[in-house]
Structure 1
Amino acid sequence: MNYRAEDNYTGLQLTLLVILRVLIGWHFLFEGLSKVFNHDWSSVGFLLDSKGLFSGFFVSLASDPGVLRVVDFLNMWGLVAVGLGLITGCLGRVAKAGGIILLTFYFLSHPPMVGFRFSAPSEGSYLWVNKNLIELFTLAVLMVFPTSHIFGIDRFLFKIRGR
């Protein structure tokens, strides 16, 4: 017998997990589309404003126009792909992993540490904890408690694959 914990979700648990997945997906999709449709958008300011241990890496990404174009493309369309994947439940594990990777980069480039002042306004932080870290760990929880194979396109993809 193949036991899976998610087979035992209550209706309320499943509903809340799916809503959480869709809400985070909406956030990613909105952020991505706002960048895609703003033809003047670039990550250059964000990258140059980086502070902390990894700031040299992020600043170096902004120093080469070719690399910056690749970073901008991957960031914009990565946000859109993650958002669509989470909302529709399509390739849910890949979408969550992609979201975790993006959020890790955002967190490391702008760590919420005492004394760091960034040029872009932020929602605030609580000494190491900010919205990026919270959303990152929420995606990790959603990876442990998956729903897209129950309520999402993955349900049909799993049937096609014979799982």
Structure 2
Amino acid sequence: MTDADRFHSTAFALACCAALAGCDAGPRAVELRPADPQVVQLGQQVYAAHCVACHGARLEGQPNWRDRDASGRLPAPPHDASGHTWHHPDEQLFALTKYGVAKVAGLKDYQTSMPVYEGVLSDAEIVAVLSWIKAQWPAEVRAKHDRINQAARENR
């Protein structure tokens, strides 16, 4: 297992625990709205303004996103079906975007190029951008993500 794999496993476990246990890592009931045209349109605008520079116009992310760069940071991952975004429930995606990986995963000294959007984007804008991302996924990936969300809700 690589350091990146260990990080993602740790971050996922801690963020799920925080999101599902009602810790301060995010709201208890976040639900993305990829079928709502107004939300998706806002999300597209937010993505273009805040995300596209790193995550790409086609959600492709940066090259070698699983390997740390010269600064020791992980490049921006893809948000398309080839990435891991859809493996995480809505609450976790929201918390990671709003509060950042270090806070959500409890990794105080973790260095990342991903900005923290608390105080930059409203909660509605964060939900909108995540909804736009989800709206771009193929139907089968969206269905898998819906099942992940259902399991997360059942475990609250």
Relative to the length of structure 2, the TM-score reads 0.35
Greater share of residues in helix: 1
Which entry has the higher C-alpha Rg, 1 or 2?
1
What TM-score, normalized to structure 1?
0.34
